[in-house]
Amino acid sequence: MNIGICGLGTVGSGTFNVLNRNTALINARAGANIQIVQIGARRDNPACDPTGVSVTRDIFEVVDNPAVDVVVELIGGTTIARELVLRAIANGKHVVTANKALIAQYGSEIFEAARRQSVMVAFEAAVAGGIPIIKTLREGLGANRIEWLAGIINGTSNFILTAMEEEGRAFDDALADAQALGYAEADPSFDVEGIDAAHKLVILASLAFGIPLQFDKVYTQGISKLELQDVAYARELGYRIKHLAIARQSEGGVEVRVHPTLIPGNSLIAEVDGVMNAIMVKGDAVGPTMFYGAGAGAEPTASAVVADIIDVARALNSAPEARVPYLAFSGANFNGTPILPIEAVHTAYYLRMSALDKPGVLTAVGSIMSDRGISIEAIIQKRPRPGQDHVPLIMLTNKALESDLMAAVTAIEDLDAIAGKVVHIRVEALDK
């Protein structure tokens, strides 16, 4: 089976190195002689030595090469990559990709084109790097009705939050460190604003719940506005703040959301620090499960890319209808369950407000919450600092409808005794 690699960056060089280092083992597992016959890359990468392999600066030459059986797309982006993948499919070639944005936004088009050509598209490396979560949802947990999944699936954001909590560093300072270490790009918005995690989550939600890919309906909130004091107050209450991607089967639809979240400090996923990733999945038969590992990097991601290449080799001689469906469910069996708007989500909340230090304020706030059916689980009221007449007032609520909570927040902000905006962060117990 002849491989053509498009892109020789971090993941491309890692894939080349793993394929070459473990050739005998990979071929024994695949039951085929897998060899790289061509590489398309705009520039060389000192991290690997492609001596003996044809290298072209024109990546489209790879997909048009009749000797190539499988195109490995590792260039990223959604413009040239989409054209490249669709052309490879039109040429009757199988495709392996690590491109989450491409699958999240154009997966339906790509899978339909592949179905018509009876070729395979594999994308394990698109979510959580070396963690085999796609194969787990598509195959290993196939007997289960998935109730929910929640994951730390962006290492950059997790690194920043870990630094904020453990070292007391402000967001901007922690971000600068992440950039210096190569964990964050010069423009970090893709990571810290949750777009990267949203791309990954829409793929996981489709696999888990049998719904079409719908990236435009994912609620996305980043961590750039998160304040150090909220990280500290969360810890005081027994929680840690993580940037979670959550998908849950709820009454009336599926929740698909990415946002900062308070989770109990004693939960397993709360202990996932730095650039590591973790995903929890709860199925009705298996119960809660957790998958942990490196979510990025040259060889962790290459591990998933090469595993997909092995899967393609194993299935080469199988009939198309006998292959595992791309998104776990055959196209005819996708269901019409809607993705719920964030206003229809039920969850608990952390609230922080600056309240005038005088009698009756807490009563007024409590009355607003009660009028909207929101009960309060815990309260922390700090003493005023010298010369100040406002104090931080922190609350944890029980589960409430988001629209009710936001109405309560608006009413609280209108009180004369409350200064500025009310900070609100969602809380998840991850136990039901």
Closest by CA to 84, choosing from 213, 43, 67, 65, is 65
3-state SS, residue 152: strand
Given a contact cutoff of 8 angstroms between Cβ atoms, the answer to whether 426 and 348 are in contact is yes
- Of the candidates 93, 200, 242, 282, the residue annotated as catalytic is 200
DSSP class of 267 = S
Which pair of tokens denotes residue 112?
């339909």
d(CA 255, CA 247): 5
Radius of gyration for the chain, computed over Cα atoms and rounded to the nearest angstrom = 24
Contacts of 217 (CB under 8 A, 6+ apart): 256, 339
The CB density around residue 373, as the number of other CB atoms within 10 Å, is 11
Residues forming beta bridges with residue 149, ordered by sequence position: 247, 281
State how far the alpha carbon of 18 is from the alpha carbons of 73, 308, 340, in Å: 16, 13, 42
**Residue 279 φ/ψ, nearest 5 degrees:** -135, 130
Residue in the structure block whose two tokens are 């594999």: 122
To 10 degrees, what angle do helices 10-21 and 298-315 make? Answer: 60
d(CA 5, CA 81): 12
d(CA 274, CA 267): 16
Closest by CA to 203, choosing from 194, 212, 191, 193, is 212
d(CA 294, CA 272): 11
DSSP-assigned letters across all residues of 178-237: HHHTTSS-SS-HHHHTSHHHHHHHHHHHHHHH-----GGG-EE--STT--HHHHHHHHHT
d(CA 297, CA 303): 10
Given a contact cutoff of 8 angstroms between Cβ atoms, the answer to whether 150 and 270 are in contact is no
What letter represents residue 381's amino acid?
Q
225 catalytic residue (yes or no): no
d(CA 363, CA 55): 72
E-strand spans in 252-364? 253-264, 276-283, 287-294, 346-356
Task: Indicate which residues carry an active-site annotation.
Answer: 200
